[in-house]
Amino acid sequence: MAFKSLFALATLATSMTLTNAALTRRVACPDGKNTATNEACCALFPIVEDMQQNLFDGGECGEEVHESLRLVFHDAISIGAAGGGGADGSIITFVDTETNYHANLGTDDIANKQAGLIAKHNITAGDFIQLAGAVGTSNCPGAPRLDFFLGRPTATAAAPDGLVPEPFDSVDKILARFAEAGGFSPAEVVALLASHSIAAADHVDPTIPGTPFDSTPGTFDTQFFVETQLKGTLFPGTANNQGEVQSPLAGEIRLQSDADLARDSRTACEWQSFVNNQSKMQNAFKAAMLKLSLLGNDQSTMVDCSEVIPVPATFTKAATFPAGLSINDVDQACTETPFPTLSTDPGPVTSVAPVPGS
């Protein structure tokens, strides 16, 4: 009896080892250079290379990366209550229709650049948009390594207008839209907005193109969550009609939607929880981005090609208050926990520089 169960255990252990080996076995790609766990992913390596060289200026976390991440959102969130659309590439396939929608102002530039690369490769627009978002984000120090699933068919229709949130929408409207589009919780909406850590606006206030949402638009850090919580000199109530409210930092722009989400009782504590918690922000963003990237698709029919996404550089600097500011400048909104203790950047008060190339 005892011998028999020992034997059973040994057999179990052997079969587990075999299963693990099968899961991690890699095949050599036809290019003779790369290996992949799934051969279908091999075709992506030259596309990633082309993107890095010819879309992202050799692997930078700059304007085209920011725009590509925004394009991920605008393509995917355009899914109606009844389904149809989603992350299907329709913003490129039907570029002349969708990039004329008000919420999509400015996306034509990156949509057309991406279309030029798509034409050179065997990949659908829907897959390319998500791949570019994940590869581009990996160029930003501090970012999580996002997942990428392959297999979105070509879109057959343009998404209707009115599905992409605008910065002048109320928190009620924004949360309802995310819930309708993909069952996103308020916490997941906050997580997705970590994207605004590597972002700038060209069209919210066209007089100041390239104005970032935080002081470090080239780094996927938590400064965005610190800086949106600072008292704005003109907050609340002075938004221009395009959803711009003033940040206390010169050279920085704040969206009314970000200001409101940082202060609403449904989202304020989650917002504050990302301050100086890089790993929490990374994990929550990665999970919510996977969900966003799959909207309108059936994950079980797709191939996990996350292995083609480069590993981002780590970022370990603690979050800080910008020079001249302190806890006294925080507009405390979370009533459950105090704002984290942060040090203040040394030196004189400086202005945030615009993102080049905007």
* Residues in binding contact with ligand NAG, number by CB under 6 A: 3
User: Is 341 a residue that touches ligand NAG (CB under 6 A)?
Assistant: no
Hey, what are 214's tokens? 């935080």
Question: Read out DSSP for 152-167?
Answer: PPPPSSPPPTT-S--T
Distance, CA of 187 to CA of 171 (rounded, Å): 13
Q: Residue 280's binding partner, choosing from ligand NAG, ligand HEM, none, with beta-carbon cut-off 5 to 8 A by kind? A: ligand NAG
Residue 355 CB partners (closer than 8 Å, separation 6+): 62, 63, 66, 200, 210, 211, 212, 217, 218
**With CB cut-offs between 5 and 8 Å by kind, which of ligand HEM, ligand NAG, none does residue 203 bind?**
ligand HEM
Q: Is 182 in the site for ligand HEM (CB under 6 A)?
A: no
User: Measured from the CB of residue 329, what is the shortest distance to ligand NAG in angstroms?
Assistant: 21
- Annotate each residue in 96-125 with x if it binds ligand NAG (CB under 6 A) or - if it does not, as one string: --------------------------x---
Q: Is 93 annotated as a binding residue?
A: no
Q: Is 102 a catalytic residue?
A: no
121 is in an annotated binding site: no
| Residue 66: other Cβ atoms inside 10 A | 29
Task: Provide the mask over 261-280, with x wherever binding to ligand NAG is found by CB under 6 A and - wherever it is not.
Answer: ----------------x--x
Stretch that binds ligand HEM, among 84-92, 119-127, 187-195, 275-283 (CB under 6 A): 187-195
Q: How many residues bind ligand HEM (CB under 6 A)?
A: 25
- Contact pick of 85, 86, 89, 165 for ligand HEM (by CB under 6 A): 165
Bridge partners of residue 150, in order along the sequence:
303
The option from ligand HEM, ligand NAG, none interacting with 69 (CB < 5 to 8 A, set by class) reads: ligand HEM
E-strand stretches of the chain: 27-28, 35-36, 79-80, 83-85, 149-150, 200-201, 211-212, 244-246, 253-255, 303-304, 320-321, 343-344
Q: Report the half-sphere exposure of 123 (CA within 13 A, side-chain side).
A: 30
Q: Which long-range contacts (CB under 8 A, 24 or more apart) does 98-102 make?
A: 98/74, 98/158, 98/159, 101/161, 101/162, 101/164, 102/161, 102/166
Smallest distance, Å, CB 335 to ligand NAG? 17
Quick note: the x/- pattern for ligand HEM over 47-66, rule CB under 6 A, is ----------------x--x
Phi, psi of 47 (to 5 degrees): -70, -40
Which residues would be at the binding site for ligand NAG (CB under 6 A)?
Answer: 122, 277, 280
- Binding-site sequence positions: 75, 86, 88, 90, 196-197, 214, 216, 221
